[in-house]
A and B are shown apart, each in its own frame.
Chain A
Amino acid sequence: MANIFTTLWRVFRHAFRPRVTVQYPEQKFYLPPRWRGRIILSRDPDGEERCVACYLCAVACPVDCIALQATEDEHGRRYPEFFRINFSRCIFCGFCEEACPTYAIQLTPDMEMSEYRRQDMVYEKEDLLIEGTGKYRDYNYYRVAGLAIGGKDKGEAEREQAPVDLRSLLP
């Protein structure tokens, strides 16, 4: 019998405790930087697209929501002609981010992306591409890769030695 009143009193005391509810639209809750939310395509520090259209993200995607077409510009840089993510399929697993060799595709702490029409859930490249570098500020794929493109020949990348002439015996 005394138990019942103890229980009642304990529950009653909760009336004076702070409430745990976060009043969502007015009050936002903290999302950590590594939260897996809306997917973006980032640019390198020079402002060029990081994506080299290698298709690894599309292959890694377990629900096949990424579609892209590779092409090349006049300098020999590969870039996606179109890049399309169907967010009504996306499960935000982050595999695309892990697969990306150039840190181009990244997941961001944003989950407010509801739409009234299903078609609006399909994001094109201009919706995905942002102006900044995202989570990796200093990384520039073409500056560290040994690939020759217009304006940068072999051996000119950071910490890259000059190429060896395979047909010469001289050191």
Chain B
Amino acid sequence: MRDVLIPLAVVVGVLAGVFAVAAQLVWLERRLLALWQDRYGPNRVGPFGLLQVVADGIKLLSKEDWTPPFADKGVFVLAPAIAATAALLSFAVVPFAQNIVISDLNIGLLFFLAMSSLGVYGVVLGGWASNNKYGLLGSLRAAGQMISYEVFMGLSLCGVVLMAGSLRLNAVVEAQREMWFFVPQFLGLAVFVIAGLAETRRIPFDLPEAENELVAGYHTEYSSMKFAMFFLGEYLGITLISSMIVTLFFGGWLGPWLPGLVWFLLKIAVCIIGFILIRAALPRLRYDQLMALGWKVLLPLALLNIIVTGGVVLASGSRLSD
């Protein structure tokens, strides 16, 4: 009985926690953007405006759930579900603390990469099924962006895997007991953060959405809860990329005095605030700049990182045994 109940509790806890964080991120993002623009942001609904999320949710629920007559109905409904589900599934392998992990797969890192690639289908299919030129342009950009950025997103993590000697995320965390990987894997971190921004379609890389050129990009035709699902997917994505950065480069749940879960959440919070700061400060890239940056700068950097890390690991003759 115990070995059923505890995993069940973990699953429910992770699901509820992740949903709560993703929803509250809407509030956090608006408050922080306002702070950096010398405004207040939503501060009326509940203490500090914390219940703004509830108000937004009620608003979205009471909106008309409109499916355009020219849309491809099945795919149109499926797309937002894919976007949210793919982001949510990756949390199955994230070690929130030493024991709080839904499934500590021995291919955890691969699973994360696979799921984050699946998330692109939500965007691409959403824009395609809308049968709308802006939607189509948005999903075209999403496809192009993902193909280029997926490549070195995976490659940038090879250094971490080489040093940890395992794809199991808990093993990666354990391998950082002496030194967090952001020191030896600085290049990898830089490339991964940029790829992660592109993966979550956040501001310097939000070309699929691009409000001021493509109306709303891939979710132009979406409304009500389907629209909310896309947003849930985006905020889940931010939380996910932050937790992966923390797990792979900043020692996950490792840290003195406080329990592992607290350390993990603290690190994630700093990471998410960083993401929001980037959104507050940087403008959107042009499409050709995005491609040039990806293929001409970041891909060679990721490869260089693998070669150097591989050489060092080979020379020191440690790890690689797992």
Contact A19 B281 (CB under 8 A): no
In the docked arrangement, what's the CA distance between A23 and B37, Å?
16
> Contacts A4-B282, A7-B282: A18 and B277 contacting too (C-beta < 8 A)?
no
A11 within 8 A of B: yes
Spell out B's residues near A (CB within 8 Å): 35-40, 277-278, 280-282
In the docked arrangement, what's the CA distance between A120 and B36, Å?
41
User: Nearest-CB distance from B63 to chain A (Å)?
Assistant: 24
Contact B280 A19 (CB under 8 A): no
User: Nearest-CB distance from B39 to chain A (Å)?
Assistant: 5
Contact B281 A11 (CB under 8 A): yes
Contact A21 B39 (CB under 8 A): yes
* New A-B contacts (7) at CB < 8 Å, excluding given A14-B38, A18-B38, A19-B38: A7-B282, A8-B278, A11-B281, A12-B36, A12-B277, A19-B35, A21-B40
A117 within 8 A of B: no
In the docked arrangement, what's the CA distance between A36 and B278, Å?
43
A20 within 8 A of B: yes
Contact A15 B36 (CB under 8 A): yes
What residue of chain B has the Cβ atom nearest to residue A23's Cβ? B40
The residues in A between 1 and 45 inclusive whose CB is less than 8 angstroms from any CB of B are 4, 7-8, 10-12, 14-15, 17-21, 23
In the docked arrangement, what's the CA distance between A10 and B35, Å?
13
- Which of A8, A18, A21 interacts with B281 by CB under 8 Å? A8
Contact B35 A15 (CB under 8 A): yes
- Which of A8, A10, A12, A20 interacts with B38 by CB under 8 Å? A20
What residue of chain B has the Cβ atom nearest to residue A6's Cβ? B281
User: Nearest-CB distance from A19 to chain B (Å)?
Assistant: 5
Spell out A's residues near B (CB within 8 Å): 4, 7-8, 10-12, 14-15, 17-21, 23
In the docked arrangement, what's the CA distance between A65 and B278, Å?
51
- Which of B35, B40, B278, B282 interacts with A14 by CB under 8 Å? B35
User: 8 smallest A-B Cβ distances: which pairs?
Assistant: A11-B281, A14-B36, A7-B281, A8-B281, A21-B40, A19-B38, A20-B38, A11-B36
Contact B37 A14 (CB under 8 A): yes
In the docked arrangement, what's the CA distance between A141 and B111, Å?
88
Contact A11 B280 (CB under 8 A): yes
In the docked arrangement, what's the CA distance between A7 and B280, Å?
10
In the docked arrangement, what's the CA distance between A31 and B267, Å?
47
In the docked arrangement, what's the CA distance between A7 and B277, Å?
10
- Please indicate the chain A residues that have their CB under 8 angstroms from the CB of B39 in the complex: 19-21
User: Nearest-CB distance from A13 to chain B (Å)?
Assistant: 9
- Please indicate the chain B residues that have their CB under 8 angstroms from the CB of A15 in the complex: 35-36
In the docked arrangement, what's the CA distance between A18 and B35, Å?
9
What residue of chain B has the Cβ atom nearest to residue A25's Cβ? B44
User: Nearest-CB distance from B60 to chain A (Å)?
Assistant: 26
User: Nearest-CB distance from A155 to chain B (Å)?
Assistant: 64
- Please indicate the chain B residues that have their CB under 8 angstroms from the CB of A7 in the complex: 281-282
In the docked arrangement, what's the CA distance between A20 and B278, Å?
22
Q: List 18 A-B contacts (CB under 8 A).
A: A4-B282, A7-B281, A7-B282, A8-B278, A8-B281, A10-B281, A11-B36, A12-B36, A12-B277, A14-B35, A14-B36, A15-B36, A18-B38, A19-B35, A19-B40, A20-B38, A20-B39, A21-B40
- Please indicate the chain B residues that have their CB under 8 angstroms from the CB of A10 in the complex: 281
User: Nearest-CB distance from B44 to chain A (Å)?
Assistant: 10
In the docked arrangement, what's the CA distance between A15 and B38, Å?
7
- Please indicate the chain B residues that have their CB under 8 angstroms from the CB of A11 in the complex: 36, 277, 280-281
What residue of chain B has the Cβ atom nearest to residue A3's Cβ? B282
- Please indicate the chain A residues that have their CB under 8 angstroms from the CB of B35 in the complex: 14-15, 19
